[in-house]
Each structure stands twice: as C-alpha cells, then as structure tokens.
Structure 1
Amino acid sequence: MLDRRNCLSLLAAAGVGAKIALEPTVSRAQPLDAGVAVASGQAAELSRALRELHGSLLVSIREYDGTTLRRAQQFDGDLLTDGPRQWQLKWDTRRVPDGHGWEVTLTCTLEKGAAEQTAISVDFPFESWETANYVMIPGIIYNGNRYRVIGNGYNPDYTADMYYNPQTPLTISNNPRLAVDAAAPSRIELATFSTAAPAMSFFSPKFKKGWIVLTEQGTRLGNSGLSIEESAGRESCEFSISAPVVRRQVAGFGDFRTSDDRASDWAPGDALSIRFQVFTFDADGIPEVLQRFMDVRKSLTGPTVPRNLLPMSKLAELGTNICRGNFTETKAGRYYLPENSRHFQLGWVSGMINTYPMLALNDPTERGRVSDELDFICSRMKGQSGFFYGFINEDGEIRSEKAHPDFPAVQAMVRKNGDVLFWLIKHVMLLKAQGHGDTVKESWELAAGGLAEAFTHAWRKHGEFGQYIVPETGDIAVYNSTAGAIAPAGLALAAEYFHRPDWLAVAEEAAEFYYERDIKSRGFTSGACADISQDADSETAFGLLESFMALYQYTGKKRWLNRAKVQAALCSSWTLAYDPLFPAGSDIARLEGRMAGAVWASSQNKHAAPGVCTSSADHLFKLYRATGDKKYAELISDIQHAHAEAVNMPGHITTDYLIGSSMERIQPSDAEGKDAVGDFIRTRNSWTETNGVLMALELPGIYVRPGEGILIPFDHVEAEHVSEGRQAAVVRLTNNTAYSARVSVLAETARQAARPLGYTAFLDWPQVEVPAGGSATVRITRKGKVARQA
C-alpha cells in the first residue's frame, strides 16, 4: 500500500485526484505477451486467460491539454521512443493464491526527455463484445447503468408516462452509464475514490466467463482513474486504469460538472508503479460474478484493521437517550421524531423503527411511548386498502410521495410499507417475548394483518409490488424496481404470527421473482429511497437479504440460504472494502478515520454512510451462523466499526449535535465538490443513530463456539482464548476504549448454530462488564453459561 502520509499530501496537493478523459479508443499495438520481458511464465498465462475472453492487456502514454486527450501512444514491447522522450516498462507478474488471478506491478519510467500533462494507462480491450454483458463497478455501476434516464439533478420528478403503466422501463437518474442509444457515445469515467472498491468487472453470457480487475486507490500521483468505453459499433470495449485520473466530467448526485483534473508533468528519471490484480473465471451467470467479487474484493488492498473506539453498550446508551429526548406531541399525534423536523415518516429513515430499541429497554415509560406511537400510526396513517401512507406533517396532513400534477391520488412508498409490516410484527413479537403480551392491542394486529393482506392482494393482481402505491385503493401508481425487497420478510413474519401459510406462499413467490428478475437478470436491486429514481441502491440489497434469511428461517429450504449467499455478495459490493485515503486536513483524515465498512447509498447519491438504512444487518450474522463462512462475519464487523467512526464523541467530533449523535454522510468521492471529500456534514440523522443502537442490540458482542476454536468479537473489545476444552472456553476480553463496556455473549455449538436464530434471541444473551482500559476473564460453556474468573 501507499505510505499514508505521503499519499495524503499528494492527494491534497492535486485537489484529491485527477480524472479519466474518455476518448475514442486509440489504435492498438501488441498485447501483454509481445514484450520480451513478459513473454513467458505468469504473464503469458495471464495473456492466454484474457484471450479466452477475446481480450488483451496493453499500456499507453496519454498526453492531455487540460482534460482533452491530445495524443495516445501504446507500447509495442517494453520500450516506447517518441522523439527525445524514451519510456521504459518493467513488469512483475505473479499468481494470486486463489489460482484464478494474477497480480501485476507495472513500473513505467521516463528515461529520457520531459513530458507535460501525461498519464499512464493500463488498458484491457475486449473484442467480440456484446451489450448484453453485465458490467459492474462496485457502489456505482450495475449492469452498466444502461437504462432510461430522466432529469439532470438530485431526485428528479417522474414523467407522466411512468404512472399507472406496468410497461414503463426501469428508469434512473442522470448517472455515469453505458449508452442505451446505439448511436450515442458509450463511456464511463470515474475516479477510484468514487467506488466501494477500486475495481471493474463484467460477465459474458456468450463465453460463460467472468472478469474482474482490482487496483489500488492511487499512486504517487494521487487517485487513479477507472474508465470503460465501448466502440461506436459496440463490437469492442476497453477497460482502463489511469494514473493519475483525468475525467472530462465529474459525476454528482444525478448530474455532472466540468472536471478540473490535470495529468502530471514528468522529468527524466521519473517513475510510476501501478499495481493491479486480474481474475478470469468460468461463470454460469451474474450470481457467480458477484460471489467471486466478494471473495476477492480485499485481495489487493488487504484485510481491514478496524479501530475499537466505542463499546456497543455505550453506543446504545447514548442513542436511546437521544431518542428518548426526541419524543414529541404534535397535532398529528405522539411519536419519536424520525429526523430533525417535527414531521413524521414511516420506515426508511427510522419512523417506527427507532421505537424498537426503545421497546427493548423494557422500561414502562418508553413502553407507553411506543404504544402511543403505534396507536398514532395505526389510526392516522392507514389507508382504506390496508397499505399505509408514508408521510404526515405535524399538523396531521397526509402528504403524497413522488406526486405528479396529472395524478392527484396520494401515493406512498412500497418500501416504507414493507418496513411497517416487518417492524410492526417484530414489535409485537418483542412485547410477547418480554412477557408483555397483554399490552399488544388488537388494533395493531388488525393493522399488521390488513397490511399483509394488502401486499397479498397486490401480488395476486399485479404479479409485483411496484415502487409507489395508492394506500386508499391499493393500486400500483409506479411499477418496477425492487422497492418491496423487505416485504417478503414482513409477510414471512406475519404468516408465522397469524398462522397464514398463504401469506408465506406469496412471500416465497415474490422473493423468487425479485431474485430471478433483479439478481440473475439485472445484477442489482433498486428504488428503495424516497430521494432517488429507480437507481441501484444498497438499501434494497440488504432488504432482500433480510427477506431471504427470513424465508430460510420459516421454511428451512436451502434455496433461500443459497440465494442469501448471492445477495450478501451484492451487499458487499456496496460496502467499502478498504480504508480510503482522505485529503490531509479533512475531517476524516484529522480523526485518522478507518472507513472500511461504510455502506454506499445509491448510484445517484454518491456517498457512503455509517451502516445500513435502517437495520442492524443482523441477517449477515445469521448467514454466518448458517454457513460458517467467516467472510460474512467480517463484513458485519466492518460495517459496525465504520459506524462508530462517524459517532460524535468527546475528542472525536463529527456533528454539531449531542454526544452519541451521528450523521449519514461519509464522503470518499468528489461528487459534492472537491472540498467535500473527507468532511462530515455537520448534522445528525435519526436512522444512523437507530441502526447503531440496533447493531448494539441484535449483534452479539462476542460469538463463541467453545471447544471448536471459534471466537469472534463484534464489539469494540479484543478477545482471546486463555484456554479451551471440549465443554468450555476461558476467554479474556480487553477494553482499550475510554468507556466501560457491557459485552453480550452468544455461545453455542455447531448443532445449535445450524438452527436459525430467532428475532428476539438477544434477550437471552448474558453480558460481561469490562472496565474502560481494563480486561475481564470469563469462562463460557457450550450451554451459554458465562462466569467471571478471578
């Protein structure tokens, strides 16, 4: 990896990176194995593997005037002579341990002469290309973003033809994309810091092969660039890594602005090394490419090393205190504020989700407040059809979502209704598990059952749930997208609670529909957020994983577990795989933040966030238990630790609000401007605080399998075996943070781990007190008994 201090200063000096200017593909010289220095061994194997996809590896020198490409010259062998300038290549190629990849360190040296505004480009041209190929750049490009586009800015209005029209194609905001129009230029230009991992990939249905290239965030010249360009006839396509990045335009939140990137000046003797890994492999479809990506996403940048900053128990204490202070009474009703205004939104940004951890406190006052909020929701926000309205202002006025002047009926997000069903059932399940079943009101159960019936009716009538519905009639107002991703989970829980196997059948049919259409065919999920179009987003990805794991729990069918593995791989593509380097002086750089695990929002909203909106993502932990594959545990640990990096604490200020507050914006890219890279937006978001508390609640602090050598800490403590026998393990927990910790412990056997974990299992987890700066040694048995040792 690059030296952090040197790279940070370079990034700052360069204005955080250059950019990729995508020009018509330059004429090609000889590929990788033509040069004498690389004509044998691993480089030749790599070249043969690329030829199976009708591809090759070339290197070019690109000269710019600002962001305009003036000239590109490709190496023919390892030496390029251009008048007084002489460039030399040196290759170091080796196999990656997985057996399907190669790692290359390419060093380019200007041995004679000088060069102005010049970049080095590693190019992968592929012939026999097809527009049916699935192209993915993690966190921003899915299926090439090759879809109908509307608007030129954030959250564009929907066009009239998108309403009540099941034939409307999936429609996205103005994002980087490959062209739909066969006559239009087709190219994507990005900086590495605009992605969840510096990577590009594609799947070829014709060749039944997948291809992935990984690189580092940058070189000594700053951030690198990633570009994809199809030829005019679409019969070929070139993927390129550029150092530095030189973009013509910079992608914003649904729009573009002119780039001020600049290539570098070179003096005699200047050298540059670009390190990358290339993987080619057999694949039957998109799911195999997603799973391979998850397996290799950290292969080049290396394992993440998260910091222990904030024990989960302290996070939960602070978060619930903030929520407690935000309980309010308006003309509309009594509720916990889900955001910074006094208006109320259901689901999504935590309305009726932030109530769940308050209920888990098992405090009479908060239980009464939660009851008041559920009464308000079930009486004021339920439509005639059984679906719920998504937004009500403090005066009690229901507001339409994604309204259009030609269609006056009040609409609501399908995603919010999926959240309502899932979380309302979880609330009544929790009350009963706590011994407060007598407080569950018939009106809540009727509302939950009516909503499950409304989803069932919509499915039977339309064969999908759509993106926006009319709660008064139950009609789908806007079709398409995966907005109902979490609805199958809600239906599965409702089917179990109300003993309705017909609802479970609909849950399975809907989940299978989403998997076939959106995962196997499109390679992404979309449309969950109120402020995007039908763009690819992380929230539906995690929501559909929730549904797959719920169906596995209530049906026991392995196919749902297999689909969950694919879905988790898609989720990983939205999650920062490494710790980006931020500009010196930025908020995150000053705090030495390690942001691996932050979750990118959507292909429109080009930023990462501290956690999954809005969930503990405990379904990832459940997937780990069911499979034993540690990569799922590592992913959830990354997410939890990245969340803590964004929490406002003494000496670690991230918001202008209370201690324990947090906000949704972790910005590795320049989508919001060069000066925004690495800075926190000084506000708070209820949903980030909620998902932090949910992680503290629904994830164990440590997971132990005594006698099996398994010990995984999720909390901000270090855990090590002191000794281990067949029946028990002695474990030392060390807390190096400034706050005392109550660490929950889940101990079980392999046989117990094979059984799905219930939604209220956390109520039974014992807790261990570990003082700030201290340690505790405990004996943990296979039956889950925990005893402190002297």
Structure 2
Amino acid sequence: MLFIPVHFSIFMPEMIAIKYTLKLKERLCCNKLPVFIVLMLFAPLLLFAQAGLSWLPSPGAAAAPVSAEIHTFLKGLSGNMRVLACGYRGAQLGSLEPVPVGKKGTKNEWELNIDKYSEQKEDQEIMDLTFRFKREGRTIADAGVALAIDFGNWDVSNYVMIPASVYNGNRNRIVTRGYNEGVDRSDLYRKDLPQTTTSLPQLSPNAGELSRLEINISNTATPAVCIYDRRKGLGFVLLCDQGIMVKDQVIDHGLILEENKSRTQATLVVSAPGVRERKPEFIGFSKSPDRGITWSPGDAHTIKLRLYKFKAKDIPGFLNTFSKIRKDLTGKNQPRQLVPFSAINQIMTRNIDKRYYEGKFSFYCPENADWISFGWIGGLINTFPMLALNDALHRERVMRTFDFGMTYGQGRSGYFWGALNKDGWPFGREAYNDRPEIVLTRKNADVLYWMVKQFELMRAQGHAAFIKADWEWRIRKLADAFVKTWKEEGQWGNDLDHETGKVAVYNSSGGVMAIAGLALASRYYHNPEYLRVAEAAAAYYYKNFALTGMTTGACADILQNADSETAIAFTTALMTLYEFTGKPVYLRQSRDLANLAATWTTSFDYRLPAYTALAKLGAKLTGAVWASTQNKHGAPGFCTQSGDALFRIYRSTGEQRYAELLYDIAHAYAEGIQPNGHITERLTYCDADSRGSRGDGGKTGWNETNGALMSLEIPGVYLRTDIDRFFVFDHLEGRVTKRDQKHQKVWVELHNPTPYAATVRLLAENGNQSAKALKLTSFLDWKKIEIGAGQTSRFVVEGTVIKKNG
C-alpha cells in the first residue's frame, strides 16, 4: 500500500485521484499510522488532482538555453526559456517533454525551427521570435506545445497585467458573493477593507498556496502579458498572436503564470492550443472545455512572440510604453466605415425618445423599466443629447425629467438615491435592496458632472432663463455633500450612505468623476473650495490607484474589481482639471490614465469562429471596450461617456495614439448597431460571456446614450491649419490635398462611403487657438459639411471660413 505511485495522479481525473487518496487514508488509518504520516502520503495526490502538473521547472534541473540570443535577452530579467511538448488528460496537464531545436531523433520526434530578430529602439530592447513546430513522429492525441519563460529572483511586488483580465496579479481578497449582491454586511463601514472581488483568475495573495492563473486570448483585450519589476524599475512585455489554425478555426493560445510556494520563482507560459484547467466565467469558474489537439505526421503550427525589455520609473511609465506597442505584433487593424456620426445621433436620439415615459410624472428612462437610475447607465445623462437637439419639445421633456429626478430623488445628505420609480418612490435598485440608503458613489459623481454640463449647455444655447433655481440649489447641495464627505473621510469610497453622507464601502476609486464635477461646479457656483477639494482628491486617487496600475469601483455589480469605467472617468477628471487650472501635471496624469484605459480597449481584430453571429457579419472588434475583470465582455464605447477626453489629450499633445484609440472605439461602436437601429452592450469575443453573439437583441439604454454623446463631443474631422495635423474620427475617408502654411489655407477632400447622408462637423484651428481650453459646449461652434451617401466633398479651409472647391 505504501508504494501506490503518487505520480499516477497526474494521469487520473480529479475525482478518481481523490477516491484513491481517501481509500489510502482509510487503510492507513485502520492500521493506526500517525495522522501526519497519512497526510504526508496523500497530500501530493490531492495537490496534483487539483492542479495537474506544475509548469515550473523541476528543482535543480539545469535547462539548456533554447538559443544564445534568447538567453542573452532574458538574462537581465533573471529569465530563461524552455520549449515544451505537452500531453493532456482532459483539461489537465499530464506530461511535459523538452523539444530541442532542429530535427533531432528524440522520442517525441518534433522538428522545431526558430526565426529570431533583435533590435534596439529608443530605450527598448526588442526581440521577435517565430517558433515553427512540425510533427515528425507517430500520431499523438490530446497534445500541444508551449513556450515557458522561467523567472528567477521573482518577487510578489512585481506588477502583472494581462489587458482586461489581470491587474496587479489580481492579488486581492476573494469572497463568495452572487452577482450584484454587494459586499457582506460585515464589510460595510469598514475602513480597513482590502480590495474585495468575487472569484477570478489570480496569483494567490496568500503565501504557501498554489499560485497559478490561466486564461486564453479570448479573455484579453490585447494578446499580452506585462510584468513590471518595481525593485529594478524594469518592464517586460510579451506580445503573441491569437492562436493556431485547426480545421479552419483559430484555437486560442493559453496564457499561464505560475509561482512557486516561496514566490521566488515564476514561469510564464504561452501554450498552443490553450488548455485551461478551469474556465473563467462571468463570476467564478466552470469546468474547462479546453483540450489538446491531435498531431499527425507532417502537422505544423507556428507561435509568434514579440518581447520587450525597457526601463520605467513607475507603473504609469510602464503603461505608457505598453500603450505605444500594444499593436506591434498583431498589426494595424482594418476598421469598417459603417454609420457616420450624424446618423448615429439621429438613430440614438430616436431610441432615447422612445424611452420617454408619460404618466403622473414624465421623464426619460435610461433603462428598460419605468424609472430613473441616477448616473452610471444614463439617468440624467441621456438628457444631454436630447437637450443638444435644441428644440422646444425636447427641452420641455428634459426639464420635466429634471423636475422629477431632482425633486424626488435626493436624500437628506444631498446625495441621490440609486433609482426613482415612476410614482416618485425612491429605491436602491442594485446590490443593497435591503439597505436602499446605500448608493454607488459613482452614480452621484456622474449626476454632479452631467448636471453642471447641462446647465452650461442651456446657457450656451441662450436658454439660461429655463434653468430653475431649485435645480441649481439641489446640485449645489450635491457638491456640498461631496465636499463634506471628503473632509470627514478623506475619500469617497465605493458606496455612500445617502442619508448620512458617510462612506459605506471604503477604498475604491469609484468616485473619481466627482473631481470633474466639482471642478465644473467651482466655476458655475463661483466657489473656489470645490476646486481645492477636487485637486486634493485627484492627488489622493492618483497616488493610491494610478500608481498601483488599476482603478476600481465603477459598478454596483462587480464589488471592487478593476474596471474600465473608472479609468476613463479619471482620465476625464484629470483633463478637466488641466483645462481649468492650466497645470501641466494634470495633462501628464490624464495621459497616464488614458494609457490605463487603453489596456481595456481591444487592440486587434479577433477572429471568431465562423458560425458566430458577429463573424457572419464580418464584425471588426478592435475598439470594443471591456467592462471589468468580473464582467468579461467588450462593449460599444465607454460607460457612460463619449471618451472625448482622449480627443482633448490629442489636441493638447499632438500624440496621435490617443486619436487612434478614440477612432477605434468610435468605429467599434457602429459594429454594435443592429438593422433595427437598436444597440446592445455585448460586442464581445470572450468565451465567458456572449461569445460572438449580438447579446440581448439591442435593449441597452446606456449604449444609446454614449453613442449620441460620441456623435456630439468628438469632431468628425480635426484640422490644424498651421501645421501638418489632420485626423478623421468619423466614418469617412479623408485627406489633405494641399497646404499653404504661410496663409494657413488648407485644401481637404472627404469621401462618405456609407449608405447614409452625413453632416460632418469640422474643428479647424491654429496653434494659438489650440492652446486654449476647449469649451464644454464647443461642439455647438464646429463647422458643418454635408456629404451625401457615397459622395465626395472638396473644400478649402481658410481661418474660420470654409469654401467649396469643385
């Protein structure tokens, strides 16, 4: 009995291994052996049953370098590479064998050739690697190949980021909570609350535990693993291709990172095909469907990598480099010109109009129910594009919405409830239905920002007389509530008690949009204290979140998972501070947060299985914005704003990558518009959520709102008349055909390839004009150019004058 082979468990399914282990325990216990001996004997079986083989190198085994060039590149990272042939038992790793370079008669009979190219670019060392595997021996099933990079001198302080999936290794506290349940009561009002999420792929935060995370490329916004060594100030980025082609379908690569128990070593794996032992789901995990493939003699597959090594002074500096290189391997995407901004505005404002409820009270509903859910997914935000229509009907409807929402929705402290039913009865809506006084901080931050913007819009339209004193008083009361909470708590937390103003769930960045709201309110209400608090909050949140490489807390349904919505909200907040104060630090910091937002934005045209709905449509998914590490899906645009802060950064810096990021997002948005004009929040390829489908059939109010906002706040065309800078954001093709820089005269050609007539808004300016902050309502002043479907327009821009040219 004592010689039952422990290693046999790696070839058995999990339950069989446990069964044999328990039998062993019973037999040994019956023989009255000491318990600790029993545990020593059967614990390895349980370990392997739960986790399969380890990807870590065998202790003491000296692996020969794959090549001298690769060894030299990785040496500064205390790294080395192994090339492996893998055998699987179901979804578990059952065997590993080294694959030598070239064609050598090993028992596995593989041929491996490696193409290598190295370069030094600015302050980066770059290595391109192409691994060409060919099966030479007998047919084998349930098999794969893998590249393993072993890091010595590893440390748990290393920042590990896999775009849209893993931030800081996801080393956070895990709790068992259902979808949209909020934290447990025992965690409410707890000032020392650590970052808390539901179960997700993570490197364990607990010493001595198994620490391994496994995903595949469908779980990422960019096929990449990014590691920043804080001790050395050294960054490492691995980019790879999507996967291998098997029977006309791309099977995704796997990305695995495993640490040893002492956390002094780690192994990064790119496997083909990707085989995860557990499949990440919307919350938690399910049984993995992943399997190895059959390799017959002559079968060949290729894995491409691009490796980067560079110095960075901090995590924002590291992410700055990543935002520049994230498309380097997958290459330039091929967006489709589908629906021009003006048509999007018409379609989405019509949809929003269909959500207007008329009854005892009348108001715009942001969702598929007769209520207002404040902020977040559109409440008192979807009124902005309707107000921008600037006609009496829509102005009246917006005013009725303001009357209803602000009269009945505000709590004693000045904060608003989560939602307001059609009869004027407030309620919590999400997470804390049994404690409706607890409201998501972000909801109130959104209300503050968007309501002051709408006051400014009405003024700019010449309708200041329609702004009611009661509205102004209530929004000032909201601003005062944020100031009071800040002074008492030093943060705004994830959730607030709208009756007392106290933080209910601490320690997230969910309230960062309040920074922008307070900045706007400081000018509107002539109160400099609002701006002082906004700047203090910006410093706090930048230090405690931006410098740690993630922001959290935007949504009521995700606990404190890292998310995209706080990243773009903080970008907007910092850019607002820059435009209000002129302080360069805020421009730099807004770029840092834009770089973080880029990690959430799909950077390549993922190839879906041909049978999926999006694949049949030929959808291009570059630019889809992922929600959070819990809600693993891409969506059309940011929730819930235009992302115009990216344009403002581009305008202020001239760095085109921010314009290109916004361009991708705007074009992915149109991929979500369905033939009936509806749009859904699902535009995803992730196998944890709505993979390749069109989601809920197009019932998502916040996507109607953010599309309308994009069509307003992003110029269709941006032109500098004094330098060679020209960018088309709209669904058009355009070019500058001639320039007279002395007289700042520019000849432009625009073509509309879509089936819609387009009214294109042009922002043309010179250097002096671009040095001034862009007004919140600047879109009202942009020039308009009409271009018919399939037509081309040629015109000359001279100063503020536009003349037809042929």
TM-score higher than 0.5: yes
Structure 1 residue aligned with 2:800: 784
Q: 1:714 aligns with which of 716, 719, 729?
A: 729
2:141 is the alignment partner of 1:116: yes
Runs (5+) with no aligned partner, structure 1: 1-19, 650-658
Q: 1:71 aligns with which of 95, 103, 112?
A: 95
Farther off after superposition, 336-345 or 415-424: 336-345
Task: For residues 41-68 of structure 1, give each alpha carbon's deviation from its aligned partner in whole angstroms, at most 9, with x where no partner exists.
Answer: xxx2x43232112112221111111112
Separation (CA, whole Å) in 1 of partners of 2:440 and 2:359: 23
Task: For residues 301-330 of structure 1, give each alpha carbon's deviation from its aligned partner in whole angstroms, at most 9, with x where no partner exists.
Answer: 011221100011011011111212221134
Separation (CA, whole Å) in 2 of partners of 1:606 and 1:80: 43
* Alpha-carbon contact 1:154-1:604 (below 8 Å) kept: no
Q: For residue 168 of structure 1, give the secondary structure of its aligned residue in structure 2.
A: coil
2:235 is the alignment partner of 1:220: no
Q: 1:247 aligns with which of 276, 286, 302?
A: 276
Which has the greater radius of gyration? 2
Structure 1 residue aligned with 2:768: 751
Structure 2 residue aligned with 1:395: 423
* Alpha-carbon contact 1:577-1:596 (below 8 Å) kept: yes
Separation (CA, whole Å) in 2 of partners of 1:637 and 1:271: 37
Farther off after superposition, 581-590 or 570-579: 581-590
Residue 344 of structure 1 and its aligned partner are, at CA, apart by 1.6
Separation (CA, whole Å) in 1 of partners of 2:120 and 2:367: 47
Structure 2 residue aligned with 1:195: 220
Structure 1 residue aligned with 2:86: 62
* Alpha-carbon contact 2:716-2:729 (below 8 Å) kept: yes
* Alpha-carbon contact 2:177-2:183 (below 8 Å) kept: no
Residue 588 of structure 1 and its aligned partner are, at CA, apart by 0.8
Farther off after superposition, 91-100 or 509-518: 91-100
Structure 2 residue aligned with 1:589: 615
Residue 268 of structure 1 and its aligned partner are, at CA, apart by 1.6
* Alpha-carbon contact 1:21-1:189 (below 8 Å) kept: no
How many residues align? The count is 747
Q: Structure 1 length as normaliser, TM-score?
A: 0.92
* Alpha-carbon contact 1:597-1:638 (below 8 Å) kept: yes
2:576 is the alignment partner of 1:557: no
* Alpha-carbon contact 1:746-1:784 (below 8 Å) kept: no
Provide closer, same or farther for how the CA distance between residues 144 and 361 of structure 1 changes in structure 2, counting only shifts above 3 A. same
Superposition pairs for residues 151-230 of structure 1, below 5 Å? 151=176, 153-221=178-246, 222-230=251-259
Separation (CA, whole Å) in 2 of partners of 1:478 and 1:72: 46
Q: 2:308 aligns with which of 279, 299, 303?
A: 279
What is the identity, as a one-letter code, of the residue corresponding to 2:772? R
Superposition pairs for residues 357-436 of structure 1, below 5 Å? 357-400=385-428, 408=435, 410-436=437-463
Q: 2:57 aligns with which of 19, 27, 45?
A: 27
Higher relative contact order (CA 8 A, sep 6+): 1
Superposition pairs for residues 640-651 of structure 1, below 5 Å? 640-649=666-675
Q: For residue 72 of structure 2, give the secondary structure of its aligned residue in structure 1.
A: helix
What is the identity, as a one-letter code, of the residue corresponding to 2:205? V
Separation (CA, whole Å) in 2 of partners of 1:22 and 1:210: 30
Q: 1:488 aligns with which of 491, 515, 518?
A: 515
Q: 1:450 aligns with which of 477, 494, 503?
A: 477
Q: For residue 246 of structure 1, give the secondary structure of its aligned residue in structure 2.
A: coil
Q: 2:790 aligns with which of 748, 764, 773?
A: 773
Provide closer, same or farther for how the CA distance between residues 527 and 385 of structure 1 changes in structure 2, counting only shifts above 3 A. same
What is the identity, as a one-letter code, of the residue corresponding to 1:183? G
* Alpha-carbon contact 2:87-2:144 (below 8 Å) kept: yes
What is the identity, as a one-letter code, of the residue corresponding to 1:777? R
Separation (CA, whole Å) in 2 of partners of 1:619 and 1:102: 34
Q: 1:736 aligns with which of 742, 750, 753?
A: 753
Farther off after superposition, 422-431 or 527-536: 527-536
Q: For residue 567 of structure 2, give the secondary structure of its aligned residue in structure 1.
A: helix
Separation (CA, whole Å) in 2 of partners of 1:372 and 1:681: 30
Separation (CA, whole Å) in 1 of partners of 2:343 and 2:151: 53
* Alpha-carbon contact 1:30-1:58 (below 8 Å) kept: no
Q: For residue 247 of structure 1, give the secondary structure of its aligned residue in structure 2.
A: coil
Task: For residues 96-133 of structure 1, give each alpha carbon's deviation from its aligned partner in whole angstroms, at most 9, with x where no partner exists.
Answer: 57342111101122222332211111111111111111
Residue 789 of structure 1 and its aligned partner are, at CA, apart by 2.0
Superposition pairs for residues 308-347 of structure 1, below 5 Å? 308-331=337-360, 333-347=361-375
What is the identity, as a one-letter code, of the residue corresponding to 2:768? R
Structure 2 residue aligned with 1:602: 628
Separation (CA, whole Å) in 2 of partners of 1:779 and 1:340: 46
Residue 700 of structure 1 and its aligned partner are, at CA, apart by 0.6
Q: For residue 283 of structure 2, give the secondary structure of its aligned residue in structure 1.
A: coil
Q: 1:510 aligns with which of 537, 557, 563?
A: 537
Structure 1 residue aligned with 2:646: 620
Task: For residues 524-549 of structure 1, give each alpha carbon's deviation from its aligned partner in whole angstroms, at most 9, with x where no partner exists.
Answer: 00111121110001000000001000
Q: For residue 100 of structure 1, give the secondary structure of its aligned residue in structure 2.
A: strand
* Alpha-carbon contact 1:648-1:661 (below 8 Å) kept: yes
Aligned residues: CA RMSD: 1.8
Provide closer, same or farther for how the CA distance between residues 596 and 123 of structure 1 changes in structure 2, counting only shifts above 3 A. same
Provide closer, same or farther for how the CA distance between residues 21 and 105 of structure 1 changes in structure 2, counting only shifts above 3 A. farther
Separation (CA, whole Å) in 2 of partners of 1:308 and 1:324: 26
Structure 2 residue aligned with 1:700: 715
* Alpha-carbon contact 1:194-1:606 (below 8 Å) kept: yes
* Alpha-carbon contact 1:402-1:411 (below 8 Å) kept: no
Separation (CA, whole Å) in 1 of partners of 2:701 and 2:747: 39
Q: For residue 696 of structure 1, give the secondary structure of its aligned residue in structure 2.
A: helix
Q: For residue 755 of structure 2, give the secondary structure of its aligned residue in structure 1.
A: coil
Residue 283 of structure 1 and its aligned partner are, at CA, apart by 1.7
* Alpha-carbon contact 1:136-1:202 (below 8 Å) kept: yes
Residue 404 of structure 1 and its aligned partner are, at CA, apart by 5.3
* Alpha-carbon contact 1:154-1:254 (below 8 Å) kept: yes
Residue 445 of structure 1 and its aligned partner are, at CA, apart by 1.0
* Alpha-carbon contact 2:625-2:634 (below 8 Å) kept: yes
Separation (CA, whole Å) in 1 of partners of 2:634 and 2:281: 14
Residue 706 of structure 1 and its aligned partner are, at CA, apart by 2.1
What is the identity, as a one-letter code, of the residue corresponding to 2:54? P
Q: For residue 546 of structure 1, give the secondary structure of its aligned residue in structure 2.
A: helix
Separation (CA, whole Å) in 2 of partners of 1:525 and 1:571: 10
2:276 is the alignment partner of 1:260: no
Separation (CA, whole Å) in 1 of partners of 2:152 and 2:169: 17
Q: 1:289 aligns with which of 310, 318, 329?
A: 318
Separation (CA, whole Å) in 2 of partners of 1:707 and 1:487: 37
Structure 2 residue aligned with 1:12: none
* Alpha-carbon contact 1:583-1:678 (below 8 Å) kept: no
Residue 335 of structure 1 and its aligned partner are, at CA, apart by 1.0
Q: Structure 2 length as normaliser, TM-score?
A: 0.90
Task: For residues 720-743 of structure 1, give each alpha carbon's deviation from its aligned partner in whole angstroms, at most 9, with x where no partner exists.
Answer: 122211221111110111010000
2:688 is the alignment partner of 1:688: no
Task: For residues 730-780 of structure 1, give each alpha carbon's deviation from its aligned partner in whole angstroms, at most 9, with x where no partner exists.
Answer: 111101110100000000112322222111000000100000011111111
What is the identity, as a one-letter code, of the residue corresponding to 1:95? S
Q: For residue 358 of structure 1, give the secondary structure of its aligned residue in structure 2.
A: helix
Q: For residue 56 of structure 1, give the secondary structure of its aligned residue in structure 2.
A: strand
Separation (CA, whole Å) in 2 of partners of 1:401 and 1:185: 38
Separation (CA, whole Å) in 1 of partners of 2:482 and 2:571: 19
Separation (CA, whole Å) in 2 of partners of 1:504 and 1:320: 33
Q: For residue 272 of structure 1, give the secondary structure of its aligned residue in structure 2.
A: strand
What is the identity, as a one-letter code, of the residue corresponding to 2:97? Q
